[in-house]
Structure 1
Amino acid sequence: MTSAATRAGRERAPVTAPADLLRRLRSRNATDPVTHVEQVPARAGTPVTWPDWVPEELREALRRRGVEAPWRHQAEAAQLAYDGRHVVVATGTASGKSLAYLLPALSTLLADPRATVLYLAPTKALAADQLRAVTSLELEGIRPACYDGDTPRAEREWIRRHSRLVLTNPDMLHHGLLPGHAQWSGFLRRLTYVIVDECHTYRGVFGSHVAHVLRRLRRRCAASGRTPGSGRIPEARGAAALPRQGGGPDRGPVFLLASATSGDPATTAERLTGLPTTAVTEDASPRGGVTFALWEPPLLPAEPADATAGADLTQVRRSALRETADLLADTVAEGVRTLAFVRSRRGAEVVAAHARRSLDEAVPGLGRRVAAYRAGYLREERRELERALLDGDLLGLASTNALELGVDLVGLDAVVICGWPGTRASLWQQAGRAGRSGQEALAVLVARDDPLDTYLVHHPEALFGRPVEATVLDPANPYVLAPQLACAAAEAPLTPADLELFGTGAKEAVDSLVATGALRARPTGWYWRHRERPEVDLRGEGGAPVCVVESATGRLLGTVDGSSSHFLLHPGAVYLHQGVSYVVDELDLADGCALVHPEEPDWSTHARDVTSLSVASVRSYVDAGPVGLFLGEVDVTSQVVSYQRRRIASGEVIDTRPLDLPTRELRTVAVWFTVSPQALAAAGVDPPDVPGALHAAEHAAIGLLPLIATCDRWDIGGLSTAVHADTEAPTVFVYDGHPGGAGFAERAYGTADAWLRATREAIAECGCESGCPSCVQSPKCGNGNNPLAKSEAVQVLDVVLANLSDALRPVGDAVRPAEDALRPVEDTLRPVGDGLRPEGDGLRPVGQE
């Protein structure tokens, strides 16, 4: 709850200046790993007076917490909400967004004993942190409480009856509160504000689902008879009797959204809530300076790719995980409180374990001050780690993005970010975790050996001085809309007025539900036909979590989401938990359980899959002569078929073992381009090199897409082939990895020229000879990165860009929707140009990710 005054009792002795610390870290390397240092200047804050309607009781409670006055953006957002307008405050990390939404919410709760407030956070940790902050104010009559999956059942009835500020998450709202709306009718009838914290995280399929969960919430509030407040705030709590709007334009609760700095936050908030929203974006809080370094791990000594055959020497960079672990150990040894962000759960465990070993070798016992933090831990473990970091018992923490959000981490001095986090918004959120009450901080982005990271550390202009991305979500996605309408119908019959609330495509979705027998049409509306409620996964994670259980003891170690279980918990997989290594004995997908035993092998495991793709329909396309650019629906079939065991020390492949896991099918949205064989031949790409050229271009395109869209490469997949059965031409596909699509392919299609140009530059500027992880190799390639043709990939992209650049000016004249959605696919997908089919078995995909 950052404010115009420093929080008391949280200061520590000053640590090494960030510039000096960075200098020492750089000096420990034979070659300087830093490619760029950006100095983000400090900024003074602009405080204002308290709004007149804030009760004296609340002002005094905030003063006890060190808040003497609000910043200008806090007061502006609070006033808009208090006046009954839906508002999103989108300002930087540690700018005090929580005070902006708590001022009107707590003021109303203190003044009106009937009012209630609902707070939604994307993570349990953030909701628990906000509960601690509100509870510390010691305000009478508020009775705040967390209501989530960790809440004991004995407490849930008390919360429904007595709590006036309920803190939860969209999942619990979807699975618990809305289906049990009859028990919550009193709370919903008096609901004054809905706070949606960290709303920029609601993107893709998850964001699209949350958008409809909020519409369902609005529907239940209206059905509960929710009416605006009395129009005046009582004087009993010390506030002047002032007029108040008491509700939004639809006479429902006021929505208060908080977001990291993002592109067009008002539009994003409107798509999320379905309501007109005012954005407050000018950050008036003070900010300490940040020294931001871009760090590229050094190249390892060259080794023959095949020692017996005397093959060409290949060079790879030192692992970003090892580099991050060393930086974490070095900063902790300096007494610098540091948070290392790592992309994966496994990576967080590896970084913490390596840092602990390094510290214990230098100073026995120091390794105990470093730990890992990630989703999948039990509630008690997570809370203890948060407490230890805040109290200073821990000096270093390796975390997934579970700690990226607004959890109060005052006291951190440095942040190490292992690999590009996917968006500029996430990058600045993570970097903003460091900095103590205006103190300077150090942030380091450690590049992984992949195309996007390499591109960014050598093109700092793509990171600094650029606006952050707009959040991508698509509430009209039929794979989201239909299940959400089924959930709404299970809560209460749907009416024509409800269809307007759920927006574009709702009538078509209802008709499809009627046709499949899920809904029954009656004169009074559409009724859910089944006894059980619909099973809908908000996060698109592919089913219920899989429990990881120790075979010998039956102890529950943690959970893994269903979609990742095939890769992380297959028989023989190595699973890490709090630095302890386990090997999977059995994966029972039907029961959602994986049995493991403790073991410390000297190898790691890496699952491999195969993918096939067919085109279902075309939404729109660009005709650029020998090149075609398409957007449409595709069917993807994938299966994890084997896994490699690799030695931890050297990365050497020990063996490849087969797996027998079920296939998975996905109807999603893809962007793809075709090139005629004649154009490739004219550009100097010989037919035998076409598969490798397309495969390399596919990998690099997937790696660079996160620069354009708010996604990371694990959100998307791809496939390339010298001749595809549906396009009858050399083709590269990039598709969303979520049913119905997540908006990423549409974003790539709309910005194809910029996206593919950055892809071409990343390949061409890489110093390797034949392709490496920094340009065209992929960590998730189902074909083992074979074949790849680096220089020919540049030639392919030159042909594509030369033809698309002309066709895309202006975009509106070249991009044409498919004229008839019912037209057979084969009629719409005639190859652009000559489209002659090469001889041989070119129909089989040669590249996939």
Structure 2
Amino acid sequence: MSSDQLISALGADDEGLRHLRRVPPRRSARTAWPEWVPEEVRRALSETGIVEPWPHQAEAATHAFEGRDVVVATGTASGKSLAYLLPVLTEAALDCEGRTLYLAPTKALAADQARAVGEFDVGGLIPAIVDGDTPYEHRQWAQRFANLVFSNPDLVHHSMLPRHRFWRSLLSNLKYVVVDECHIYRGVFGAHVALTLRRLLRLAEHYGASPTVVAASATAAEPAASLTTLTGRPAVQVTADSSPSPGASIALWEPETHLIEGEPQKASTLSETARMLAQLVQRGVRTLAFVPSRRGAEIVAAEAKSRLGADPAAERIAAYRAGYLREHRRDLEADLREGRLLGVATTNALELGIDVTGLDAVVLCGYPGRLASFWQQVGRAGRGETEALAIMLAKDDPLDTYLVHHPEAIFERPVEASVCDPSNPYVLAGHLCLAAEELPLREADLASIPGSREVAEELCERKLLRRRPGGRYYWVGSERPEVTLRGSGPMGIDIAEISTGRLIGTVDAAASHRLVHNGALYLHQGESYLVDELDLDDGIALVHAAKPPWTTSAQEITHLEILSTREVREMGAVTMCLGEVEVTTNVISYQRRRIPTGEVIDTQLLDLPPQTLRTVAVWWTVEPEALAGVADLTGALHAAEHASIGLLPLIATCDRWDIGGLSTAAHPDTELPTVFVYDGHPGGAGFAEQAFRKWTDWLGATRDAIDSCDCKAGCPSCIQSPKCGNGNEPLDKTGSIQVLGVVLEADDGRPPTVIEIAKPTEAAPKEEEDDLWPGDF
């Protein structure tokens, strides 16, 4: 069926289709092999169907071969892998001693690349996978013999660099470092990876090597600058995509709205996603449904199968997410790749990873938070000359509602640049300690990172480093510092069935407070489990299978303290600020809600320890006199906070789960009505700063989104939040429009006042749920 026929079959007549954009097909261009590619490599590639390269492949590969750091940033399925494979295969075919370290953000992607490389018959190529699943003896063999090692930053950080003397053979001959899907390395995680890469390059230099970095990225703004941020070295970029594309029809769809007790309410986005997935699979259309949460992926897969009933196609639908055991994930990946599965409801775990290009359709259950992710997910569909179908279903969320009614914000806006700050002192301190423990730090090692010398001196005061004559810093701590790349706390919580001891899955430590607290209902592959006990000390949640007629939602309270102010913009009755804050959250209870009505059955108290986060926030205050006409000030500020969090991803490279907020009619530190929006990562991730710089665009879009919503008193499409710890009470839609109007009218166009920064003394741990987690590295 054509895309138009599929859209019609899915129910375009119900007026849910808000916008349809045609992406035209693109013809491929071919070019000759670079002269430096030996005949053996050309023959091996031609045997796998690669007769000639596309120009962007040849250009990027030549940059790498000639020793220039390069990033190839082209679309999904554009053959970016050949940019690093050509010089690597050439090195092997010529029997040279150069070795390559390939780094992927997930083990699945590294394994899939290793599988693809295994198809090339090039003499001298000795590939090996080294990750957390690799037996010790295989790892020893790879250290000595493999000239193409597939791994991930976590293993480099936790194993290779601390034991660099065992890896001396690889490091001393390291010619290429491949950084795949480098756009993933953003925010605090990106800062950790950047510092890990710099430690790797530093040790390679110590052993006499000078490797070239070859990176691949989804289409992104300023990819060369992003790679330079990761490595601290200049880089060139290749962005002209010369690969073929069958084109795509991209539909922006809003679930049908029904009147319930006089109020318009949208159909559940999860339910609509399940409906579309079931209908597409029933028609034999190979489909991925991207769902923003692990729980949501389970619900969509289960409901899609239920809708098909006894139809055999129901057995060809599954969920895929992080938290599954490794063997289970690999089975699902093979079933999808080989066509045994027709439909998969997945988190962003399949946004990158195994080669699943060549699908017929993708359904996005809501905007994924970033344009780069949007285009990456859309690009998963399309094979041969068959036009791809991509549908984005708008969630009940201010940003999604805004986007389906303003499609130019998707199709006429450039992809975001990755935000990454290796100089974040919360991240930098630990890596300076690690680097000094691996090899004494020199002044040159500190020169490329602003603020690193000051952080090193602070570490000396804390008796962790010692500065010796000659300017070198030595590690003098008693134990090697513990630094995890994807968070500051424990690695995770195991989930086990209490009757059998069977391990079901894992969940991040901080997310466990919300997802597997005592009494929580936990979903796994369509099966539901009740949590009997969460033991944070032993890192385990004990569960039993159950199917109660209710679901659970955690409730939390938040306290925020201003620590310091960086910049201030004073505009009469309104003041806009940027600075450091300390946020303390505590999950105090959970509600049981009846299925399917959502009626609250009861509220159960919990006894969980508080979690503290020191981070960066943007906040604004208003003099009470300017808000005299607002009837419910607390509800108005609360509604403005929710909506502004929902719209921040429009101007910052984040999604609403990366940020948090707090509003109050009289905050203790300001003594004024105040709204805070803060980064959900220790030390900040740059999101609040972008909000401060573009506050009129941000809050203007927020006010417009609330004002244009058809509801009377507020709904999830404008001011209600799925992560509100107060049950979305109180909220005042009309008042929020008034408050935002007062703030926007105060803009005087003057630059902000810069204030000397008083830095917090230490970082507090916080874990974020992330489905790009590679497991035990």
Which interval holds the TM-score relative to the shorter structure?
over 0.9
Residue 512 (1) aligns with residue 440 (2): no
Report matched runs for 1:388-407 at 5 Å: 388-407=335-354
Residue 685 (1) aligns with residue 630 (2): yes
Deviations 1:778-815 (A, max 9, x none): 001111111111111111111111112x325xxxxx12
Distance in 2 of aligned mates of 1:572 and 1:515: 46
For 1:685, give the aligned amino acid. V
Residue 20 (1) aligns with residue 5 (2): yes
Residue 815 (1) aligns with residue 752 (2): yes
Distance in 1 of aligned mates of 2:79 and 2:128: 21
For 2:676, give the aligned amino acid. F
**Structure 1 position 685, deviation (Å):** 1.8
Report matched runs for 1:192-231 at 5 Å: 192-226=175-209
For 1:110, give the aligned amino acid. A
Which residue is equivalent to 2:775? Answer: none
Contact 2:567 2:579 (C-alpha < 8 Å) held by counterparts:
yes
Distance in 1 of aligned mates of 2:693 and 2:288: 36
Distance in 1 of aligned mates of 2:485 and 2:303: 35
Which residue is equivalent to 1:4? Answer: none
Deviations 1:55-91 (A, max 9, x none): 2111111111111111111111111111111111111
For 2:546, give the aligned amino acid. E
For 1:766, give the aligned amino acid. C
SS in 2 for 1:113: coil
**Structure 1 position 339, deviation (Å):** 0.5
Distance in 2 of aligned mates of 1:594 and 1:619: 42
**Structure 1 position 109, deviation (Å):** 2.7
For 1:518, give the aligned amino acid. L
Identity %: 58
**Aligned equivalent of 1:378, options 312, 320, 325:** 325
Which residue is equivalent to 2:386? Answer: 439
Contact 1:86 1:256 (C-alpha < 8 Å) held by counterparts:
yes
Range with greater deviation from structure 2 (280-289 or 736-745): 280-289
Distance in 2 of aligned mates of 1:382 and 1:138: 28
Contact 2:74 2:218 (C-alpha < 8 Å) held by counterparts:
yes
Which residue is equivalent to 1:229? Answer: none
Report matched runs for 1:41-80 at 5 Å: 41-80=24-63
Deviations 1:15-56 (A, max 9, x none): x111111111125x7x22111111111111111110011121
SS in 2 for 1:649: coil
Matched residue count: 759
SS in 1 for 2:691: helix
Residue 82 (1) aligns with residue 65 (2): yes
Deviations 1:669-703 (A, max 9, x none): 0011111112222xx324xx111111111000000
Report matched runs for 1:404-483 at 5 Å: 404-483=351-430
Which residue is equivalent to 1:349? Answer: 298
Distance in 2 of aligned mates of 1:436 and 1:406: 18
**Structure 1 position 113, deviation (Å):** 3.0
Deviations 1:464-505 (A, max 9, x none): 12211111111111001101111112212222222124x111
State the Cα RMSD in Å: 1.5
Contact 1:286 1:438 (C-alpha < 8 Å) held by counterparts:
no
Contact 2:95 2:124 (C-alpha < 8 Å) held by counterparts:
no
Which residue is equivalent to 1:336? Answer: 285
Deviations 1:508-565 (A, max 9, x none): 1111212222223333632223343211121126421111111111111111111211
Which residue is equivalent to 2:767? Answer: none
**Structure 1 position 273, deviation (Å):** 1.0
Which residue is equivalent to 2:225? Answer: 267
Q: Which runs of 5+ in 1 are unaligned?
A: 1-15, 227-251, 304-312, 809-813, 825-849
Which residue is equivalent to 2:768? Answer: none
Distance in 2 of aligned mates of 1:393 and 1:335: 11
Q: TM-score, structure 1 length as denominator?
A: 0.88
Which residue is equivalent to 1:248? Answer: none
SS in 2 for 1:563: coil
Contact 1:624 1:807 (C-alpha < 8 Å) held by counterparts:
no
**Aligned equivalent of 1:297, options 239, 255, 260:** 255
Contact 1:150 1:379 (C-alpha < 8 Å) held by counterparts:
no
Contact 1:623 1:807 (C-alpha < 8 Å) held by counterparts:
no
Distance in 1 of aligned mates of 2:384 and 2:132: 34
Distance in 1 of aligned mates of 2:614 and 2:385: 49
Deviations 1:590-615 (A, max 9, x none): 11111111111121111111001011
Deviations 1:416-475 (A, max 9, x none): 011110101100000100111342110000111111111111111111122111111111
Residue 758 (1) aligns with residue 701 (2): yes
Distance in 2 of aligned mates of 1:368 and 1:152: 35
SS in 2 for 1:415: strand
Contact 2:463 2:477 (C-alpha < 8 Å) held by counterparts:
no
Range with greater deviation from structure 2 (211-220 or 671-680): 671-680
Contact 2:92 2:122 (C-alpha < 8 Å) held by counterparts:
no
Distance in 1 of aligned mates of 2:757 and 2:295: 44
Which residue is equivalent to 2:766? Answer: none
For 1:777, give the aligned amino acid. Q
SS in 2 for 1:316: strand
Contact 1:722 1:729 (C-alpha < 8 Å) held by counterparts:
yes
Residue 360 (1) aligns with residue 360 (2): no
Distance in 2 of aligned mates of 1:160 and 1:595: 39
Which residue is equivalent to 2:765? Answer: none
SS in 1 for 2:585: strand
SS in 2 for 1:463: helix
**Structure 1 position 186, deviation (Å):** 0.9
Distance 1:189 1:438, change over 3 A: farther
For 1:602, give the aligned amino acid. P
**Structure 1 position 756, deviation (Å):** 0.9
Report matched runs for 1:756-835 at 5 Å: 756-804=699-747, 806-808=748-750, 814-818=751-755, 820-822=756-758
Structure whose alpha-carbon radius of gyration is higher: 1
For 1:611, give the aligned amino acid. T
**Structure 1 position 406, deviation (Å):** 4.8
Which residue is equivalent to 1:831? Answer: none
Distance in 2 of aligned mates of 1:93 and 1:659: 45
Distance in 2 of aligned mates of 1:140 and 1:545: 42
**Aligned equivalent of 1:276, options 234, 240, 244:** 234
Contact 1:376 1:558 (C-alpha < 8 Å) held by counterparts:
yes
Distance in 2 of aligned mates of 1:669 and 1:822: 12
**Structure 1 position 223, deviation (Å):** 1.2
Contact 1:541 1:563 (C-alpha < 8 Å) held by counterparts:
no
Contact 2:64 2:87 (C-alpha < 8 Å) held by counterparts:
yes
Which residue is equivalent to 1:111? Answer: 94
Range with greater deviation from structure 2 (62-71 or 406-415): 406-415
Contact 1:332 1:396 (C-alpha < 8 Å) held by counterparts:
yes
Which residue is equivalent to 1:145? Answer: 128
Residue 288 (1) aligns with residue 224 (2): no
Which residue is equivalent to 1:811? Answer: none
Deviations 1:294-344 (A, max 9, x none): 1111124404xxxxxxxxx44421111111011100000001000011111
Distance 1:541 1:510, change over 3 A: closer
Residue 160 (1) aligns with residue 143 (2): yes
Which residue is equivalent to 2:665? Answer: 722
Q: TM-score, structure 2 length as denominator?
A: 0.96
Distance in 1 of aligned mates of 2:714 and 2:71: 45
Which residue is equivalent to 2:770? Answer: none
Distance in 2 of aligned mates of 1:768 and 1:522: 67
For 2:625, give the aligned amino acid. Q
**Structure 1 position 160, deviation (Å):** 1.2
Distance in 2 of aligned mates of 1:741 and 1:32: 42
